[in-house]
């Protein structure tokens, strides 16, 4: 389980607005080549529209990770713009943030990178990435073999020609095989410890009365926790194995008689044009809504 996933969708980004869905078949790891810019900093940098001339690149990834946090910027099954190739149709894109205190020359040459000073940061961002990959592998039935980095994707012909993350990992004596081994170890532990498990969805383990359900299938339990803000998934021994995405970026609205997406957008968001955001956020394929339906509204 990654430390903490903070979900804040980049709804201004054209990639989010394009709203194409994928069935994740793998995970592609990138690194930012932007020294010292941490996961949370990317929201203001990339939550912009290329079409409106606010940003000069058409790019968006599913999440950025640093040594402490995971910031999820796209739904995991949203088609991202990270690979510059066909991997966008199949792969979840993750960007690892690089530590500060060095610069780049000639594309991917790290100048003045202090391995010793950055070792702790590197270990932590590595662990954070392993944990997130284990979580995503469980969620989508993937294994460590489905994980690759941008440069590996490039040699396979499914991504543009970039050097990340190999150019950085090698500074710490690591490569993607080491990374996959670490994911495999954790995946194996989680499989062994979950023989005939029952996954319970509660506010906290001690609040048995808050239980929303108990599931044999972890994916169902995760779904249930996601649908109920404030809820998490617990295994048999009461260990919290999934923290629901207590999404701070939306509130729940219940549709009343006479509502339309336009009216709700006007009433709650102050602009009827924002009906599109509501549609995207809720994965609606038509404009039809029903009385009593619960909709997520951006905050």
Positions that interact with Zn ion (CB under 5 A): 30, 150, 162, 164
Of 138 and 150, nearer to Zn ion (C-beta) is 150
Of 47, 74, 73, 65, the C-alpha closest to 4 is 65
Burial (CB < 10 A; 0-12, 13-18, 19+), residue 261, is buried
Nearest CB to Zn ion, comparing residues 33 and 297: 33
Helix axes 115-140, 176-192, angle to 10 degrees: 50
Minimum distance, C-beta of residue 296 to Zn ion, in the bound complex (Å):
30
30/186 with CB nearer Zn ion: 30
103 CB neighbour count, 10 Å cutoff: 11
Q: Tell me the backbone φ, ψ of residue 277, rounded to 5 degrees.
A: -60, -40
Angstrom distance (rounded) from CA 132 to CA 239: 17
Which one, 164 or 182, has the nearer CB to Zn ion? 164
CB of residue 44 vs Zn ion: minimum separation in angstroms?
20
Nearer to Zn ion, 1 or 97 (CB): 97
SS3 201: strand
């Amino acid at each position: 389980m990654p430390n903490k996933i903070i979900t804040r969708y980049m709804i201004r980004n054209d990639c989010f607005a394009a709203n194409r869905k994928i069935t994740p078949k793998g995970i592609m790891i990138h690194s930012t080549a932007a020294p010292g810019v941490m996961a949370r900093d990317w929201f203001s940098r990339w939550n912009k529209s290329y079409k409106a001339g606010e940003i000069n690149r058409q790019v968006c990834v599913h999440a950025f990770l640093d040594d402490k946090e995971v910031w999820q910027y796209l739904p995991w099954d949203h088609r991202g713009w990270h690979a510059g190739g066909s991997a966008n149709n199949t792969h979840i894109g993750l960007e690892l943030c690089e530590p500060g205190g060095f610069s780049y020359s000639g594309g991917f040459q790290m100048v003045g990178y202090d391995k010793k000073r950055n070792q702790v940061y590197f270990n932590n961002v590595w662990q954070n990435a392993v944990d997130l990959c284990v979580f995503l592998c469980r969620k989508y039935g993937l294994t460590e073999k489905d994980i690759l980095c941008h440069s590996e994707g490039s040699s396979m012909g499914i991504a543009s020609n970039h050097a990340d993350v190999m150019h950085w990992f090698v500074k710490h004596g690591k490569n993607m095989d080491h990374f996959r081994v670490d994911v495999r170890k954790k995946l194996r532990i989680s499989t062994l410890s979950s023989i005939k498990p029952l996954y319970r969805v509660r506010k906290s383990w001690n609040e048995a009365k808050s239980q929303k359900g108990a599931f044999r299938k972890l994916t169902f339990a995760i779904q249930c926790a996601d649908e109920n803000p404030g809820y998490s998934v617990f295994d048999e021994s009461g260990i919290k194995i999934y923290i629901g995405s207590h999404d701070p970026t939306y509130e729940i609205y219940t549709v009343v008689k006479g509502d339309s997406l336009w009216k709700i957008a006007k009433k709650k968001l102050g602009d009827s044009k924002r009906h599109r955001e509501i549609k995207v956020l809720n994965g609606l394929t038509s404009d039809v809504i029903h009385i009593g339906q619960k909709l997520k509204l951006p905050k």
